């Protein structure tokens, strides 16, 4: 097994991040620095990441978290802000959040120690939809909805086609569901700003076919067998 995949499957980081660690000299095999992402790990090899020996045989854990407002999507924060790790502190496994969810956005976040699943969810080639429910200022006209569906310029980047559904609205605000498969920083907020409707609140309600449902903010649940198989085969 290639060493980048070995590290990812151990739940340390994603495969892309593993490549960075390898190239930066943060990985050792049998005591020697390894800078070749294509190296095949043999049975009996001792692999270290940042001085820590990793175990690729740990049980895989898959959780769906409902992230509250004002919480960092990271394992730690240099400004000592609260992170999503607080929600799962009773879980006896070293998990990491898959992808990111902005500080002031709530909703669905998958946490796992399976690097392959992380790769499938986040890599653009898999085009996994993430669905958001946004309360935006003002009216979303049919013309604006059409622009969002077709793609808008959010500052040098033209977004791909999106699915847009108007839930309800009045002259002051509109509740909208939007599905995108890209993951640019603050993309949904920038898309609505581009058509003149700033976001007031934003919640991610689904990752692919895995829906938040009635899961309360600040809580988590285990993914069921069907959901795990869906992620492995999407």
Q: Name the residues annotated as catalytic.
A: 102
User: What b/e string do you get for 109-144 counting C-beta neighbours within 10 Å, with b at 16 or more?
Assistant: bbbbbbbbbbbbbbeeeeebebbbbbbbebebeeeb
Mark out the alpha helices in 75-183 (DSSP H runs).
115-122, 142-150
CA distances from 7 to 28, 160, 163, 195, 222 (A): 11, 32, 35, 42, 23
Return the H-helix or E-strand segment holding 65: strand 62-67
In the three-class reduction of DSSP (H, G, I as helix; E, B as strand; rest coil), residue 14 is classed as coil
Q: Which two tokens stand for residue 82?
A: 């609260």
Closest residue by Cα to residue 130 from 98, 169, 152? 98
Closest residue by Cα to residue 203 from 184, 193, 191, 189? 189
């Amino acid at each position: 097994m290639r060493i980048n995949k070995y590290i990812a499957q151990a739940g340390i980081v994603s495969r892309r991040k593993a490549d960075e660690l390898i190239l930066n000299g943060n990985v050792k095999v049998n005591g020697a620095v390894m800078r070749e992402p294509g190296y095949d790990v043999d049975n009996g090899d001792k692999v270290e990441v940042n001085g820590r020996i990793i175990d690729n045989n740990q049980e895989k854990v898959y959780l769906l978290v409902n992230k509250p407002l004002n919480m960092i999507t990271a394992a730690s924060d240099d400004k000592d802000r609260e992170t999503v790790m607080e929600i799962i502190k009773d879980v006896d496994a070293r998990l990491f959040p898959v992808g990111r969810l902005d500080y002031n956005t709530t909703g669905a976040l998958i946490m796992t120690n399976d690097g392959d699943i992380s790769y499938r969810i986040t890599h653009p080639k898999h085009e996994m939809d993430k669905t958001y429910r946004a309360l935006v200022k003002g009216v979303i006209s049919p013309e604006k909805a059409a622009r969002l569906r077709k793609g808008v310029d959010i500052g040098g980047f033209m977004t791909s086609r999106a699915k847009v559904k108007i839930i309800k609205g009045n002259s002051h605000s509109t509740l909208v569901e939007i599905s995108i498969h890209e993951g640019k920083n603050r993309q949904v907020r920038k898309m609505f700003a581009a058509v003149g409707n700033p976001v007031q609140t934003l919640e991610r309600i689904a990752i692919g076919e895995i829906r938040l449902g009635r899961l309360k903010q600040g809580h988590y649940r285990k993914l069921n067998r069907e959901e795990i198989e869906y992620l492995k085969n999407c």
